[in-house]
Structure 1
Amino acid sequence: MRRMSLIISVLLLGMCVISQSLRTDLSDNNFAAWQENRGDWIEVGETHLNPDDPQLLTTSPGTGVFVNGATGRTRHLVSKQKWGDMRLFIEFMVPENSNSGVYFMGRYEIQIRDSYQKESHYPGNECGGIYQRWDENREPKGFEGISPQIDAARPAGQWQWFEAVFRAPRFDASGTKISNARFEKIYHNGFLIHENVEITGPTRASLYDDEQATGPLLLQGDHGPVAYRTIRVAPADVNPFFAMDTGTRDERHQTFQQQVEMLKRLGYDGMDHTGVDDVAEHLFHLDQNGLRLFAVYLDVWADREKQWANEGLEKAIEQLKGRDVVLWVPIRSHDYTASDSAGDAAAVKIVQKIADLAAASGLDVALYPHSFFLMEKIGDALRIARKTDRANVGVTFNLCHWLRTDNSDLKETLTNAAPFLQVVTINGADQEGDWQQLIQPLDGGEFDVAQVVRILADIDYSGPIGLQGYGIGGDVNENLKRSMQAWQKLNMHP
């Protein structure tokens, strides 16, 4: 059974004890988190391409950025702490023709390389590749390197980022390995480049030849200049937490850039997008700040004679290709009332059309139950999802709409939805009332949101959780700050 609690101690299963914090920051305090024998690594404030030699980096004084010396030929940076399962976010920069690597447990490498618009000589040598293993006694000696599904590399001298969910190898009581290490997901600059990739053993040039339940994080330091910043480790089983754009805008946060920068500062994993206009602009600002777009909220109608969705949807879907973004589909109707199953046939037609368009770009569709709409309750969404009969169609559980329209047995509701559940949205709330009572910052209201978190853990839900902020008003920065603090408490003590 998956647990969202941050105290995990099943070492025989390859998991380690993680401190009671959602994130461990490894990129501050003058290398405090790293072993002392660091060679020429230095901490600086900024770094750029050297204008006289683009194969080198220049630096400015300050803190927060780690650089492996003037030439990039030094020792590796190795963390003091050891992990098994983990979620890692890391930003990096390489100059021309340089490379480095991030080794999980000191053994399993994601390649970092200046590979923008360059051919790779073998699989896994691209930026974002899972680097090859090596055996001197076989031909070819290098094997099992895995190229990224999408080439998301940026030019030399630009900051880039990875977000990776890693699963350690598992061992039985006798120490025999019973399952391989695995990269559950790897994102590179906003694109999903690997999913459920097993690694049968340590990759080339790893710190260790054997496999264990835990190990340190290693940043390669001897293959050329590289800079790292914003290095954060979190438990692998904490759900990604994003803010819905219903609660990110006020007088001081009007633009995408202002909203995204605020969310990054507060520690959110990303946000959603309403409609299909300006998707590319929103993606740009998210990518620049190391955040993800989790969902796009559509306007979908199912009448008796006609069904339709947003004009421009096909273009938006093409822009989202490879992004691991869910299309949120609420369903309204002029002809059918809320929860009227007579409208199912019309609803199924438009959902199938959207699902087929989405599938061509590798996207999923999550039906979005909404009060007073045709598809009002999560039971309506489940019924329509089953009738749609598309592998990429699931449902969303929206706490505020469930409280408004259903408010039945919560555990039964989520358990029944589990096979189709793709997204969950939560917020602070009272047990009943109007939207002012049913949508509050996450620390507000009398409803026990912790029970939602506990049930989601019990049903092994590992997908994203969004924060609903519709109609709260006031200072969005303060609302979001309070909600993030409440989210951290929920995950430490669900």
Structure 2
Amino acid sequence: MKHPLHHMDFIFQTAIGTYPLAAQCEMLVETGYQGLTMSAWSKDLKSIPLIKPKWGLDVGAVYLIYREGLESFVTNIFETIEGCTTIELALHSGDEVTDLDRRTLERLLPICERRGLEIALYPHARYGMQTTSQAVALCEEFKHSRLNIVFNGYHWYANQEKALEQRLDAVWPWLKQVNIAGSRRSPLGWGGLATIEPLDEGEMDNFVLMGSLERRGFDGRVGVLGWESMGGDVYGNLRRSMNAFRSMEQRLAAHPEWAVLTELPY
């Protein structure tokens, strides 16, 4: 199956500046992407409704972080966002999920009902909600149709949650979309945990992850992470990830059994 492939706009926020929105969209179109995820701190959020008509790209989600003190900022995003119906929400009000996080969801979910939005909980390494287990627990607690989960292969890998098949089974009832990245565990990576790299780099086996998702019938969009630490040429990194992803899809279509692994022999 050929999935819509999006890229997070972090890749355009480099160590020396941010690419203009027009350049971002033109690069994504030229390299074959179907859309992007925008960060909530982007200065271009008001331009979201213009992106599809002008460049043919979907804005699949806006990525947003909640921390204590950001209540007004977070609520304003939910109240004003136009042209995008999914908010990927990372929760970080403490060292674990706290009552502040729960009260935030209690406040935001009625806004979602009123404005036709969805929350996709975003487990994030070194944040309060950092594991898929914590995200699943919140979905079970709230039992709300507009509360879902992003399975982020990078953060699953960086956190060393392991048990891929079991974690995907647990997340499946609420799975909204999937984010992936090339990665290797390293103290030089984000948070001292793992690097964020193009999909043709690193030690994370995204082919196996995609195979596990295909076996479950996942047919949603896939987002690719990017970060200024990747270095190099942004356009080149976009193209490398696109080529690697479509190659994985072709191999899975021809040989789905290749993505079923046995236990390590050591």
- TM-score normalised according to structure 2 size: 0.84
**Equivalent position of 2:259 in the other structure:** none
CA contact (8 A) 2:61 2:86 kept: yes
Give the equivalent residue in structure 2 for 1:480. 238
- State the Cα deviation string for residues 311-336 of structure 1 (Å, max 9, x = none): 6324433x23xx4x310111111xx3
Q: Which residue of structure 1 aligns with residue 261 of structure 2?
A: none
Q: Bigger relative contact order, structure 1 or 2, given CA contacts below 8 A and separation 6+?
A: 2
Equivalent position to 2:46, from 280, 284, 287: 280
Q: Whose helix fraction is larger, Structure 1's or Structure 2's?
A: 2
In structure 2, what is the equivalent of residue 462 of structure 1?
219
**CA shift for structure 1 position 439:** 1.3
Q: Which residue of 2 aligns with 1:420?
A: 174
Tell whether the 8 Å contact from 2:90 to 2:121 is kept in structure 1 after alignment: yes
Which residue pairs with 1:352 in the alignment? 106
Shift of 1:403: 1.4
C-alpha distance in structure 1 between counterparts of 2:247 and 2:236, whole Å = 17
Instruction: Find the aligned partners of 1:269 and 1:252 in 2 and give their Cα distance.
Output: 24
Q: Secondary structure of the equivalent of 1:296? A: strand
- The one-letter amino acid paired with 1:466 is G
Are 2:137 and 1:371 aligned? no
Is 2:206 aligned against 1:449? yes
Code of the aligned partner of 1:271: L
**Match status 1:298 vs 2:31:** no
Q: Structure 1 unaligned runs (5+)? A: 5-237
Superposition map of 1:360-399 within 5 A: 360-399=114-153
Report which of the two structures shows the higher radius of gyration computed on alpha carbons: 1
- Tell me the SS of whatever aligns to 1:294: strand
Closer, same or farther in 2 for the Cα pair 1:331/1:350, shift >3 Å?
Answer: same
Deviation at 1:414, TM superposition (A): 1.0
Q: If each structure's strand is expressed as a fraction of its own residues, which one has the higher value?
A: 1
Q: Hey, what does 2:23 align to over in structure 1? A: 258
Conserved? CA contact 1:403–1:438, under 8 Å: no
CA displacement at 1:308 relative to structure 2 = 5.5
The separation in 2 between residues aligned to 1:383 and 1:488, in whole angstroms, is 33
Aligned counterpart for 1:439 among listed residues 196, 209, 229: 196
Q: String of CA shifts for 1:175-233, please: whole Å, max 9, x gaps.
A: xxxxxxxxxxxxxxxxxxxxxxxxxxxxxxxxxxxxxxxxxxxxxxxxxxxxxxxxxxx
| 1:310 Cα offset (Å) | 2.5
Q: Assess, with a 3 A threshold, how the Cα gap between structure 1 residues 308 and 401 changes in structure 2: closer, same or farther.
A: farther
Q: State whether residues 6 and 37 of structure 2, in contact with CA within 8 Å, keep that contact through their aligned partners in structure 1.
A: yes
Matches within 5 A, 1:213-224: none
State the one-letter code of the partner of 2:37: D
Contact 2:27/2:235 (CA < 8 Å) preserved in 1?
Answer: yes
Is the 1:298–1:309 contact (alpha carbons within 8 Å) kept by the matching residues of 2? no
The AA in structure 1 aligned to 2:242 is M
1:307–1:280 distance in 2 versus 1, CA, 3 Å: closer
Q: Distance in 2 between matches of 1:291 and 1:328?
A: 18
What are the superposed Cα offsets for residues 123-148 of structure 1, whole Å, 9 maximum, x if unpaired? xxxxxxxxxxxxxxxxxxxxxxxxxx
Runs of 5+ consecutive residues of structure 2 not aligned to the other structure:
253-266
Map 1:212-251 onto structure 2 (within 5 A). Answer: 238-250=2-14
Match of 1:312 in 2: 76
Give the Cα–Cα distance (whole angstroms) in 2 for the partners of residues 260 and 253 of structure 1.
13
Alpha-carbon contact 1:394-1:420 (below 8 Å) kept? yes
Label 1:263 to 1:308 Cα distance change in 2 as closer, same or farther (>3 A).
same
**TM-score, normalising length from structure 1?**
0.47
- Deviation of 1:379 (Å): 0.9
Partner residue in 2 for 1:187: none
